[in-house]
Amino acid sequence: MAEVTPAPNTISLREQFAAIAQLRWNIFVHSLRTVRGRMEMVSWIFIGFGYTVMGVGGTIGLGVATWYLVSHNQEEWLAVPLWLIFLVWQLLPVMATAFTENFDASNFLRFPLSYRSYFVIRMAYGALDPTTIIGCLWLAGMALGAGVAAPSLFLWVAIVLLAFAALNILLGRMIFSWIERWLARRRSREILIVVFFLFIISFQFISPMMQLYFHHYGHSRQPPALALATQLVAVQRFLPPGLASSAVSLSVRSRFALALGALALMCAYSAAFLGLLNIRLVAQFRGENLGEAPAPAAVRRGKETVAAGWELGGGLSGAVAAMFEKEFRFLSRSGPMIFPLVMPVVILVIFRFSFINLRNGSSFLQSHAGFAFPIGAAYALLILSNISYNCFGSEGPGVQFYYMSPVRFREVLLAKNLAQAAILLVEMVLVWVAVALLFSPPSIGITLATLAGAAFAALASFTVGNLMSLYSPKKIDWAAFGRQRASGLTALAALGVQATCMGMAAIAVLVGVYFHQTWPASVLLILFAAGMLRGYTYALSRIDEVAIGRRETLIAEICRAS
Amino acid sequence: MDAPAIATEHLTRRFGQLVAVDDVNLRVAPGQFFGFLGPNGAGKSTTIKMLTGLLAPTGGRMEILGFDLARNPVEVKRQIGVVPEGMALFGRLTGAEYLNFAARMYGLDRETAAKRTAELLDFMDLASQPKALVADYSHGMQKKLALAAAVIHGPKILFLDEPFEGVDAIASGTLKAMLQRMIVRGATIFLTSHVLEIVERLCSHVGIIHKGRLVAQGSLEELRAGVQANAAPGSAGAPAGERLTLEEIFLRIVGGERIADQELSWLK
């Protein structure tokens, strides 16, 4: 009887890790085969430089701060830098997903990995995160600072900070794995993303609320919040950064049992995070299916009448109108894309209550209300760049339709830009109303100059955004938390355009200031916008050639499996 | 004789050193139900992508209904319908919205688009969940929707890349009925499939591509006769008078027997 030669009885963990490391290296090397890959590499060098400055600068700064605190017997204040590290470690990966790369290690589950191997792989990928490297560097800086100030303390501080680093890695991995669980289904994803944005927005209000509070109570009286702050300080002692700080400060005061207790409690937190992470990883390892189930829908019988599509008029073709309608329907069903659009108004509210002059109680923008509308408009443009610089990112396989149908890409992109312009217009109106309510109605001169500046910047964004959408597309996968990385090249291009537009707008403003009038600035910005319109139409007239030339890259990237 | 619906001359596509499609000269007459077959990696999808404008050839030319695809891509696309491998659907639209959108992209006016959308949803049995998003459709429903979008403008040629893959028997029956109805009305259908029984039942003509080269082309009878004529005396070729199935024809043309006879060193 025929028999199959059995597979090896033991699978070497080291061999598997080596194979995975080889795989990652091969993927990296092969990515450099294309021009786009090499350009991405260059952009990553710039981004890496930013991270290096952040890492090295923070290491030195925190090292010096720790040295100062330890040598002045103020170890309890170590909680401040530790809280800073903790917040950066946990929040930066969430906020800067464009600049972090995470690989979906669950892809390896098809291979005969033991659970232990799978767990280690997941943790190893977490440890390769730039934030983790920066966090570890900062903690190393603190340990060195403490060691220089009190050499006998070095070993204990190193142990405590090592435990703190492990806790941060476990917590970060645990949060990501659970959020991915919730993001896997569309409905829970929409809810989660709205909650996430509300969290981010509420976070922004901390500073203005504090300023308001201090303005209200002043410095002479004892504000009731001081009692609350005292309570918060007591509570934070039982949270990881506070525990790490206590473990160090208590050991300095020779209260070793309590110091050990603080470390043990921190380890207990780690164990809890490990347990929660374990629940997720075990479920993944056992092959849970988080795919989208068909949504239950009302069953109707009989022929359905279908409403006719939108019409735009103005000589625009039916195809442009259909695209325009499609963009709005897409947007209305994309919580992650639509929710940031409220941010310009939120920012104005934050500004309203920030930078308060304690003498007269007015905020910066109340004293300089002329800046409010331009600031709100600039923020609206910034938010719009999320959509305009990678406008095919969320299309999925549908992007092939544009190449199959008898429509020119200039029509497709024109419709997309019209939809973006319409969103910007609505945002500008909202911002104008918000400025009028929060501060004072912007003058006609300011309104005109801002509208002209916004038109100029929007046209510049559309021109470059259309090209970047074709040259450097990136599939947006909302179900994969931390893996919807934007192209680094696109991020740099967007920054470049925004900086250039701001520079040119500043020149126009300076001209206005020179003449003590707003109209010269408006005229200049209208001229800039007119020039940019010419550039936009020229780029649009040539976009079909670019789209045809880039079709393979675009389709391959946007249609790729997650 | 009518001009061919699809004609290629020396059609070639290279990916670096790899020649995926090599000097293919294809002719499909109007009204034919043409099955395009080949082993995995033979160049079927690459060819269909080039014929529908999703991929540029590196050499040769393509004519669709007499139009040069490179020079008149928009005119060609107006007259063809495509169901590509990935189906080209927009997940965040409802079925009705997607069909309406597709119809208007193909130049239909708003009223006609809405009317045909309603008819197609009904015909394809997709009207029961009007609020469901395409992303929430089952695979079979998505295939039916993709086919509906490909035919909504009444194309003269329909390109289908693996249209029956992952489709259950009920949906498959609906699709086949629709395709046969289109052939009766004079359309040309160009289809790739791995399911040779389906191709044998539906297609009047077949092309076989192997390692990038078109190795056979013609009606089923012509291919059968060709295989029998080429069988060396005393070889495993079919005896005269034996009716070979498409699978047998296919395997003999692409050398399937040799692979079946091979052994793996560790599979004793």
Nearest to A368 by CA among A207, A513, A206: A513
Single-letter amino acid code for the residue at B261: D
pLDDT of residue A99: 44
The pLDDT value recorded for residue A221 is 55
Cβ-Cβ contacts under 8 Å, B158 against chain A? none
On the question of pLDDT at A267 being above 50, the answer is yes
Q: Give the model confidence (pLDDT) of A279-311 as tens digits.
A: 988 888 876 655 554 444 444 555 567 777 787
pLDDT of A10 over the 90 cut: no
> Which residues make beta-bridge pairs with A239?
none
Contacts of B266 in chain A (CB under 8 A): 4-5
The predicted pLDDT at position A159 comes to: 95
Q: List the single best residue of A305, A312, A399, A400 to mutate versus B (max B Cβ within 10 A).
A: A400
| A-chain residue closest to B264, CA distance | A4
Minimal Cα distance from B119: which residue of A?
A303
pLDDT of residue A293: 47
Query: pLDDT tens digit string along A11-53?
Result: 677 777 777 777 777 777 777 777 777 877 887 788 888 889 9
pLDDT, position B136: 83
pLDDT band at A100 (very low <50, low <70, confident <90, very high): very low
Residue A477 near residue A562, CB atoms below 8 Å:
yes
The pLDDT, as a whole number, for residue A336 is: 62
Is B135 or A535 the better-scoring residue by pLDDT? A535
- pLDDT at position B31 is 92
CA distance A321 to chain B (A): 8
* B29 interfaces chain A, CB cutoff of 8 Å: no
From the list B90, B91, B118, the residue facing A305 with the nearest CB is B118
Q: How far apart are CA A163 and CA A170, in angstroms?
A: 11
- Would an 8 Å CB–CB cutoff place B117 in contact with chain A? yes
Residue spans per domain, chain A? 13-219+234-285, 336-403+424-558
Considering only A68-77, A343-352, B216-225, which range has the smallest mean pLDDT? A343-352
Q: Please list the pLDDT of chain B residue by residue as tens digits (268 residues).
A: 568 999 999 999 998 888 999 999 999 999 999 999 998 888 998 999 999 988 889 999 999 999 998 888 888 888 999 998 888 888 888 899 999 898 988 888 889 999 999 999 988 888 888 888 888 888 888 988 999 999 999 999 999 998 888 777 887 888 888 898 889 989 999 999 888 888 898 999 999 999 999 999 999 888 888 877 776 555 555 555 567 888 888 888 887 655 556 677 777 5
Please tell me whether residue A148 adopts helix, strand or coil conformation: helix
Q: Report chain A residues whose CB lies below 8 A from the CB of B107.
A: 318-319, 406
d(CA B204, CA A488): 51
Query: Is B81 in a helix, a strand, or coil?
Result: strand
Query: Rounded distance, CA A272 to CA A276, Å?
Result: 6
| Confidence at residue A104, expressed as pLDDT on a 0 to 100 scale | 63
The token pair that represents A283 in the structure block: 């479920």
- Contacting residues for B119 by C-beta, under 8 A, at least 6 apart: A303
According to DSSP, residue B265 is labeled T
Per-residue pLDDT, A195: 75
Shortest Cα–Cα distance, B120 to chain A (Å): 10
User: How many other CB atoms are there within 10 angstroms of residue A333's CB atom?
Assistant: 17
- Residue A142 sits at the chain B interface (C-beta within 8 Å): no
CA distance A474 to chain B (A): 17
What's the N-to-C CA distance of chain B in angstroms?
57
Q: What is the mean pLDDT of residues A46-61?
A: 90
Q: How far is CA B227 from the centre of its chain?
A: 23
Q: In this complex, is the C-beta atom of B93 within 8 Å of any C-beta atom belonging to chain A?
A: yes
C-beta atoms surrounding A349 within 10 Å: 16
pLDDT of residue A384: 85
Chain B residue at shortest CA distance from A335: B92
* Disruptive mutation site among A405, A476, A478, A552 for chain B (greatest number of B CBs within 10 Å): A405
Q: Which two tokens stand for residue A58?
A: 């923070």
Q: What local confidence, expressed as pLDDT, does residue A486 receive?
A: 62
Please indicate if any CB of chain B lies within 8 Å of the CB of A408: yes
- Rounded distance between C-alpha atoms, residue A491 and residue A386, angstroms: 9
Q: Is the pLDDT of residue A547 over 80?
A: yes
Please check the confidence at residue A527 and state whether its pLDDT lies above 90. Answer: yes
A255-271 per-residue burial string, b: 16 or more CB within 10 A, e: under 16: eeeebeebbebbeebbe
| Segment A376-383 mean pLDDT | 87
DSSP B156: S
Longest CA span, chain A = 98
Domain B6-219 bears CATH identifier 3.40.50.800 = no
Task: Reply yes or no on whether the pLDDT at A3 is more than 60.
Answer: no
**CA distance to partner chain B, nearest, from residue A297 (Å):** 6
What value of ipTM does the predicted structure carry? Answer: 0.74
Residue A514: its H or E element: helix A488-515
Mean pLDDT of chain A: 81
Shortest CA distance to A115 belongs to which of A123, A127, A126, A103?
A123
Per-domain boundaries in chain B: 6-219
Q: Quote the pLDDT of residue A105.
A: 65
Tokens 């009887």 belong to residue? A1
Q: Does B70 reach chain A within 8 Å, measured CB to CB? A: no
Q: Which residue of B has its CA nearest to A333?
A: B92
Q: How many CB atoms lie within 10 A of CB A150?
A: 18
CB-count exposure of residue B65 (10 Å: 0-12, 13-18, 19+): buried
